[in-house]
Amino acid sequence: MTLPYAEPFKTKMVEPIHFSTRPEREKWISEAGYNLFNLRSQDVFIDLLTDSGTGAMSNAQWSEMMMGDESYAGASSYYKLKSAINEITGFEYFLPTHQGRAAENVLFSVLVKKGDIIPGNSHFDTTKGHIEYRKATAVDCTCDIASDTRAVVPFKGNVDLEKLEKVLNDNPVENIPFIILTLTNNTAGGQPVSMENIRKTADLANRYGTRLILDSARFAENAYFIKTREEGYADKSIREIVREVFSYADGMTMSSKKDAIVNMGGFIALKDESIYKEATTFNIIFEGFITYGGMTGRDMNALAQGLYDGTDFHYLESRIRQVGYLGSKLREYGIPIQEPVGGHAVFVNALEFYPHINREEFPAQLLAVELYLEAGIRGIEIGAIMADRDPVTRKNRFPSLELVRLAIPRRVYSDNHMDYVAAALRNVYEKRDNIKRGIKIVEEAPILRHFTAILDRV
Ligand code: F0G
């Protein structure tokens, strides 16, 4: 008999999670203004809000925590992290920051000025935010197929090289400080970017005299997909692939809360000393002295170890397999999901789930609420509420996709939890025709409204 798959780790410490009843959840979600961000985590049974900062650290990471050097300047933890980053990415220069968006803030303070254009593949919200805050423009050049949830293609996160070249052609290079590639493409469903696409993007950057920066939050998951899907990489190790990926780039921003499996942390790494030198000033203003940048010594130690843990093939296989397992269950139950399943989350297509619910009544938010009521599971809406209103017309914006993201924390839940999630969604799906109306907004902030909006049933 072929042996079944089993995870390459066992559990040493457990955290109880709590079942609740539907009447309790009715009360809690109503008190939360039908916004899952407003729930207390103790009132959630399985929390799939995000895979960011929610992973379980290894025994090696916890033991590194005890060895942290909390010196203000020149801590050994800084040098440990510098050496790990150099070994994993090949970058010579690095600055620690407290999380990914802080890395963006520091680096963009050097590179982005008013009127600039920054093309890329589905810039993450905070990346776009830091660009627009500086009165520059993020131009999304993601390949069109990414918005077709049913298309099964191996590298749906790729940038469209023709769209990208057009942006490079149509604008003076002084206004394009860099191209940014997000690995994996979170917004498009955790979809990977191929090595070929990264290499060709770097070629374009070189040819037009600009830079390539990688938003690397999920670089290791991306490398796993390159190894398993791209011709010529099956026999390369994850670390060899990672080194090749970063060899094409001028620098990276990192949210360590994802693929480095720490609860907090980030960094910038760079090839070029002069940008590093300019960025140090901003790091000191915004984050802290350059040898800690918003992180404690113990956090830097855990992060250094997490870079090794997170680039281990067997760990990555268990990770991506589990996300795929949830996807396969949902597929089996006929639930419409973004295909193929990406690296960190399964995305449910709410427009196909509730085709009879008007978009003005936010079908993805409705689905997230119904799933919570059914079984205490928390996902998030990635749809019209998150898209905010148009800044000029103040009308609701309706993006092409209206999704619920079920992000899977790393090394946290078992396949039984995945079965539970799948069964709960199946129940919600079977009852879909009984749901006649959606959700309305009662109160909202002018931007980033999804975090704090007060909602209600129509
Ligand atoms: N880049 C990407 C691709 C991200 O997914 C995130 C965060 C960031 C940058 C910002 O990093 O949170 O450390 O400041 N994504 C989280 C998510 C919040 O749930 O997808 P951060």
Q: Which of 76, 289, 320 is nearest to 221 (CA)?
A: 320
Residues 344 and 396 in one domain: yes
Which ligand 1 atom sits nearest the alpha carbon of residue 407? Answer: 19
Residues 287 and 350 in one domain: no
Q: Is residue 4, in this structure, part of any structural domain at all? A: no
Q: What is the distance in A from the centroid of ligand 1 to the CA of 9? A: 26
Shortest-distance Cα residue to atom 11 of ligand 1: 100
Q: Is residue 261, in this structure, part of any structural domain at all? A: yes
Which of 268, 286, 310 terminates a domain? The answer is 310
Whether 215 sits among the annotated catalytic residues: the reply is yes
Whether 124 sits among the annotated catalytic residues: the reply is yes
Alpha helices for 376-455 (secondary structure H) = 415-430
Whether 364 sits among the annotated catalytic residues: the reply is no
Alpha carbons 362 and 40: distance in angstroms, whole number:
23
Which of 283, 310, 337 terminates a domain? The answer is 310
Residues 306 and 373 in one domain: no
Residues 39 and 151 in one domain: no
Reading the chain (458 residues) residue by residue, the pLDDT tens digits are 999 999 999 999 999 999 999 999 999 999 999 999 999 999 999 999 999 999 999 999 999 999 999 999 999 999 999 999 999 999 999 999 999 999 999 999 999 999 999 999 999 989 999 999 999 999 999 999 998 889 999 999 999 999 999 999 999 999 999 999 999 999 888 999 999 999 999 999 999 999 999 999 999 999 999 999 999 999 999 999 999 999 999 999 999 999 999 999 999 999 999 999 999 999 999 999 999 999 999 999 999 999 999 999 999 999 999 999 999 999 999 999 999 999 999 999 999 999 999 999 999 999 999 999 999 999 999 999 998 888 789 999 998 889 999 999 999 999 999 999 999 999 999 999 999 999 999 999 988 899 999 999 99
Structure tokens at 440: 């309305």
Q: How far are the Cα atoms of 230, 280, 314 from residue 241, in angstroms, in the given order? A: 11, 29, 15
Which residues surround ligand 1 with Cβ inside 6 Å? 50, 52, 99-101, 124, 126-127, 182, 186, 215, 217, 255, 257, 266
Q: Which residue segment(s) compose the domain that 133 sits in?
A: 60-310
Q: Is residue 220, in this structure, part of any structural domain at all? A: yes
Residues 339 and 438 in one domain: yes
Q: Is residue 1, in this structure, part of any structural domain at all? A: no
Angle of the 297-310 helix axis to the 313-332 helix axis, nearest 10: 70
Q: Among the options 130, 258, 344, 417, which is catalytic?
A: 258
Shortest-distance Cα residue to atom 13 of ligand 1: 100
Judge if pTM exceeds 0.75: yes
Q: What is the distance in A from the centroid of ligand 1 to the CA of 26? A: 30
Q: Is residue 15, in this structure, part of any structural domain at all? A: no
Residues 292 and 421 in one domain: no
In contact, 184 and 145? CB cutoff 8 Å: no
Q: Among the options 80, 136, 450, 453, which is catalytic?
A: 450
Q: Among the options 5, 27, 72, 456, which is catalytic?
A: 72
Residues 291 and 317 in one domain: no
- Specify the 3-state DSSP secondary structure of 428: helix
What's the CATH number where 191 sits? 3.40.640.10
Residues 306 and 317 in one domain: no
Cross-strand partners of 441: 455
Q: Is residue 360, in this structure, part of any structural domain at all? A: yes
Q: Is residue 3, in this structure, part of any structural domain at all? A: no
Whether 390 sits among the annotated catalytic residues: the reply is no
Alpha carbons 150 and 136: distance in angstroms, whole number:
33
Q: Under the phi-then-psi rule, with left for phi > 0, alpha for psi from -120 to 50, and beta for the rest, what region is 168? A: alpha
Q: Is residue 2, in this structure, part of any structural domain at all? A: no
What's the CATH number where 452 sits? 3.90.1150.10
Residues 218 and 115 in one domain: yes
Whether 356 sits among the annotated catalytic residues: the reply is no
Residues 317 and 436 in one domain: yes
Q: Which of 242, 240, 253 is nearest to 211 (CA)?
A: 253
Residues 222 and 240 in one domain: yes
Which of 310, 328, 349 terminates a domain? The answer is 310
Residues 287 and 329 in one domain: no
Count of structural domains, the chain = 2
